[in-house]
Structure formats: structure tokens, C-alpha cells
Amino acid sequence: MVKFLAVGGLAILFSASVAAVDYQEHDGMLMNHGDGHLMDMAGGMVMGQNADTLPGGCDSISETKEITVHAGHKYAEKFPGRMFAFDTQEYQFKPCTKLTVHFVNEDKIRHQWMMHGLPKYLYPKGMFHLEVSGPAKISGTLILPPGDKTYLVHCDIAQHMEKGMKAQLKVGKGDGDLPSIPGVTANVIADDYKVGLPELIATAAEADKQAAVAPPVPDVISPAAASTAVPAQPEGFFSGVMVIGLAAGLLLGPYLARKFHGMSASEIIATIFEGVALLVERGVKLLSALLKLVSGNKSNVLPKV
């Protein structure tokens, strides 16, 4: 009896552990919210679902395809410096293909499979989006547009794409490769794993040491530097311009006091402008007379010898 109970208990524990790794199936729980947007209360979501409407330029569905995409931490192990990844980094299909994607999340966190750049008249916000929380599976269908184009596929959870969860999907021949696709294209900023943390610390310490013992700047300026140096400005409080201004103020002060005595502020300003205009007028007349005098002398014919 005791052995029977022990065996039964072990069987229950084993079945519980097996059930714990089963993936939750979201496809039967999704509620249709319209415009190809389906979601459930357990964290499953499909956006941009389109299984019937042909994109402009597609006369018919060229072929029907299904793919299963796995996402998780373990798929990033083959890419140094990456934390998350899909099991496949590149897909290629004919234009106008009806594509069903089965997205399997193998981590205990949220992941997405998002495709950008689709025609917005057919796909809201120009994207097709699958999302699940924790170990789960979800499926969605779309019809690929015509033409040769390369589309970005990635996880939009913060830092997941930067940490490796991205791929490219080529329709037809595609229109080139996207940068920094793990295992497919080179990174925009190349990673360097040749130098470890101890070497970086030693390099920084050596730089600090050299900066601490750097020779001081000499006080004596070389003749070459002195020849190109900007002449120093006088440091005295009374410069030449200030002395001239003070002298003019002392000389003109009594005259201006008598001139503006009893006037309002507006009258003083008007009088100053009139004086300036008069000085400008007299200066112009004087300059004109000098020019006439010079030009008249030039026109005189020299006497013959």
C-alpha cells in the first residue's frame, strides 16, 4: 500500500512538471475587436490580421505558406553579445503570398513578432503583430504585398531588438539587406570582444597616471609664440578714449547746462537731434567744397614751357 501511494505520488509530480512546460494555446481564446485586431485576457494579441483581402497589385494569391517561429533566450547563444533571438533570422516568400505565422514564445517573459512597412490602407499602422506573454503559442495570417521589398521583423519590447531579436523578411527578391541582422548582416557598430574588463581597467588607470604626471605649462613664452601673440590691451582704469571723453564733458558741461535749462526731456532730445543734423549738414557741405576744389585743380591745363 505504501509503495502504491509512493508510486502514485511520483506519477502526479512527474505529470505536473511535464504540464508546467506545456505552451498555452491562445488561438481559441482570442476575441475579435475589428480591423484585424484580436486579443485575449491572458496576454495574447494579433494585430493586422488579413486572410481575405488582396493588396493592391495582387490579382490572386500566389501561394499559401505556414511558418513556425520560435523566440527565446536560448536562440541568442550562437550570437555573441546578444540576449534574445528568433530561431530564424531571414525569410523569403513570393509576392502576394498568404502567410500564416505560428509564433512560439519559449521564455517566461513577453515577446513579439512584428512586421513593419506594410500598406496602411490595408494594415492599420502599417504592421502585422503577434504577441504573447510567457511560454505560449499564437497564430495570425496576412497576405504579403506585391513587388520586391525587404521588411523588418522584430520584437518591440524595450531593448529586445537591440539585444538580438530581429530578422528580415524578403518579398520576391527583396530590395537589399537590413543592417545588424544577427548572423545575416554586419552590425552598424561592431562589437569588440578582444579586450576584457581587466585590460580596460588597466588602460584607464595608465591614462590617469600619465595625466597626473604631465609636465606643467611653461611660464616663459618662446620667441616664436611671442611673435604671434595678440598684443595685450592696457589694463589701466583711465584709457585714452576715457580721458578724451572726460575732458569733453568738463568743457561742454557748463554750456549744455545753460542750453538745456528749463527744457523737458523730449525737448532736450529734439534739440540734440537738431544739433546732430546741423553738424552732419555742415560736414557734407565742407566735404563737397573740398572735392570741388580738388577736381578744379586737376582740370587746369599746365602752361607750355
What strand order describes the sheet that includes 64-72?
A: 24-25, 136-143, 98-105, 64-72, 85-86
Find how far residue 187's CA is from the centre of its chain: 17
pLDDT, average across residues 153-167: 93
Residue 106, pLDDT > 80, answer: yes
What strand order describes the sheet that includes 149-154?
A: 31-32, 38-39, 45-47, 127-133, 110-116, 149-154, 166-171, 90-93
pLDDT single digits (tens) 25-41:
776 667 676 667 776 76
pLDDT single digits (tens) 168-213:
999 999 999 999 999 999 888 776 667 677 777 888 888 888 888 7
Position 43, amino acid: G
Asked if residue 126 lies in contact with residue 118, where contact means CB atoms within 8 angstroms, the answer is: yes
Instruction: Return the higher-pLDDT residue of 36 and 71.
Output: 71
pLDDT of the residue at 227: 57
Instruction: Return the higher-pLDDT residue of 290 and 149.
Output: 149
pTM (2 decimals)? 0.56
Instruction: Tell me how far apart the alpha carbons of residues 303 and 305 are, in angstroms, rounded to a whole number.
Output: 6
Asked if residue 46 lies in contact with residue 126, where contact means CB atoms within 8 angstroms, the answer is: no
For 111, other C-beta atoms within 10 Å of its C-beta total: 27
Give the chain's radius of gyration (CA, Å).
43
Instruction: Tell me how far apart the alpha carbons of residues 58 and 98 are, in angstroms, rounded to a whole number.
Output: 11
CA-wise closest residue to 112 among 73, 144, 86, 92 = 86
Instruction: Tell me how far apart the alpha carbons of residues 21 and 133 are, in angstroms, rounded to a whole number.
Output: 14
Paired sense of beta strands 64-72 and 98-105, if any: parallel
Find how far residue 75's CA is from the centre of its chain: 28
DSSP state at residue 226: H
pLDDT of the residue at 169: 97
In the chain, the percentage of residues whose pLDDT exceeds 90 is 42
147: left (phi over 0), alpha (psi -120 to 50) or beta: left
pLDDT, average across residues 227-233: 54
Q: Phi first, then psi: what are they for 112, rounded to 5°?
A: -135, 155
Which residues, in sequence order, are bridge partners of residue 138?
103
